[in-house]
């Protein structure tokens, strides 16, 4: 792996950058990390991602790959050790389905629970709970979405386990607990405790402070 030029442009508390960090770590890929200032985006970032101007960007041999799920697939296509996606096409389709479901249905509702207020907030909380319950059905009785080992869905969706707790704390809502979603709740506790996973997650206090400040700015001046 020496001489492989791999660079990751990210932001310290971006869950999308976290996904990529997890994948790189699991594959044992060495890389240079570049922290981007999202208020003052670097010319490099704008050049690498002109369409969205966002992180994460994976740069491999000078060529950029953007959009975190596209990056995960690229990593799996390029480095064959410790496969992230299963071999079987049907299992791959199931994995892609759940990753997409979480991004399309769970995340916006969870963001809504964080950013909205009053009736809209209540609606978002309910929607988040419903969709997280559906996500739980994709996990079932397995230890991880990938089975006995973590896989594509765990890496794509695992950040939600941390961010759900942040949202619950900061926005003072209840999204997932052992009573309503015992299986998902257990996975929310199990996944971030894995050493390779835990190492990449920013410290809880820092995340909490950052999100509290963000929440304050969003809700400032509202009744």
Partner 1 sequence: MAEGNKVTLHGAWPSPYYHRVKMALKVKGIAYEYVEEDLMNKSPTLLKHNPVHKKIPVLVHNGKPICESLVILEYIDETWKDGPKLLPQDPYKRAQIRFWVNFLHEQVFEALYSIIKTDGETQEKALQGLHEKLQVLEEGLKKFFPDCSKPVVSENVGMLEIVVTSILGNYKAQQDVLGLKVIDSEKTPLVFSWVAALVDLPAVKETLPPYEQYVPFLNFMRQTFLKPPTA
Closer to partner 1 by CB, 43 or 203: give it: 43
Q: What stretch of H or E contains 19?
A: helix 15-27
What are the E-state strand segments in the chain? Answer: 6-10, 32-35, 57-60, 63-66
- Could you tell me where the DSSP H helices lie in 79-143? 89-101, 107-115, 118-139
Q: Is 101 in the site for partner 1 (CB under 8 A)?
A: yes
CA 109 to chain centre: 15
Per-residue interface string for the shown chain with partner 1, residues 113-142, x marking contact by CB under 8 A: ---------------------x--x-----
For partner 1, the closer CB: 71 or 207? 71
Q: What are phi and psi of 140, to 5 degrees?
A: 65, -140
Query: Could you tell me if 184 and 139 are in contact, meaning their C-beta atoms sit under 8 angstroms apart?
Result: yes
Token pair for 195 = 């050493």
Exposed/middle/buried for 57, CB within 10 Å: 0-12, 13-18, 19+? buried
Residue 71 binds partner 1, judged by CB under 8 A: yes
Per CB under 8 A, does 89 bind partner 1?
yes
Work out how close the CB of 116 gets to partner 1 at its nearest, in angstroms, rounded to a whole number. 21
Contact window for partner 1 (CB under 8 A) among 16-24, 91-99, 141-149, 156-164 = 91-99
CB of 184 to partner 1, least distance (A): 15
| Matching residue, tokens 């997890």 | 22
Q: Which stretch binds partner 1 (CB under 8 A): 15-23, 39-47, 87-95, 154-162?
A: 87-95
User: Minimal distance in Å, beta carbon 166 to partner 1?
Assistant: 25
**Residue 96 binds partner 1 (CB under 8 A):** yes
Please list every residue from 28 through 67 that binds partner 1, using CB under 8 A. 50-51, 60, 63, 65-67
Q: Name the residue among 152, 113, 147 with its Cα closest to residue 130.
A: 113
According to DSSP, the residues that pair with 59 across neighbouring strands are 7, 64
Which segment (13-21, 90-98, 153-161, 176-184) binds partner 1 by CB under 8 A?
90-98
Of 129, 125, 140, 128, which is closest to residue 186 (Cα–Cα)? 140
Which residue, 73 or 154, has its beta carbon nearer to partner 1?
73
- Answer yes or no whether residue 100 interacts with partner 1 by CB under 8 A: yes
Q: Provide the token pair at 41.
A: 């985006």
Eight-class DSSP state of 203: P
Q: How many residues bind partner 1 (CB under 8 A)?
A: 23
What residues make contact with partner 1 under the rule CB under 8 A?
50-51, 60, 63, 65-67, 70-71, 73-74, 77-78, 89-90, 92-93, 96-97, 100-101, 134, 137
């Amino acid at each position: 792996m020496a001489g492989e030029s791999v660079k990751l442009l990210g932001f310290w508390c971006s869950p999308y950058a976290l996904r990529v960090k997890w994948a790189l770590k699991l594959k044992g890929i060495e890389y240079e990390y570049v922290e981007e200032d999202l208020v003052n985006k670097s010319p490099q970032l704008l050049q690498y991602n002109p369409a969205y101007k966002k992180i994460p960007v994976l740069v491999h041999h000078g060529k950029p790959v953007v959009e975190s799920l596209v990056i995960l697939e690229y990593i799996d296509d390029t480095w064959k050790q410790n496969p992230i996606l299963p071999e079987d096409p049907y299992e791959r389709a199931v994995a892609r389905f759940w990753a997409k479901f979480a991004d399309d249905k769970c995340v916006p509702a969870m963001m809504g629970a964080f950013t909205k207020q009053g009736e809209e907030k209540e609606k978002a909380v309910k929607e988040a709970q419903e969709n997280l319950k559906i996500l739980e059905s994709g996990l079932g009785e397995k230890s991880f979405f990938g089975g006995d080992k973590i896989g594509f869905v765990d890496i794509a969706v695992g950040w939600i386990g941390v961010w759900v707790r942040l949202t619950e704390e900061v926005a003072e809502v209840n999204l997932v607990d052992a009573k309503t979603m015992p299986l998902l709740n257990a996975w929310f506790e199990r996944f971030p405790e894995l050493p390779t996973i835990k190492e990449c997650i920013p410290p809880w206090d820092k995340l909490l402070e950052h999100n509290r400040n963000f929440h304050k700015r969003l809700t400032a001046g509202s009744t």
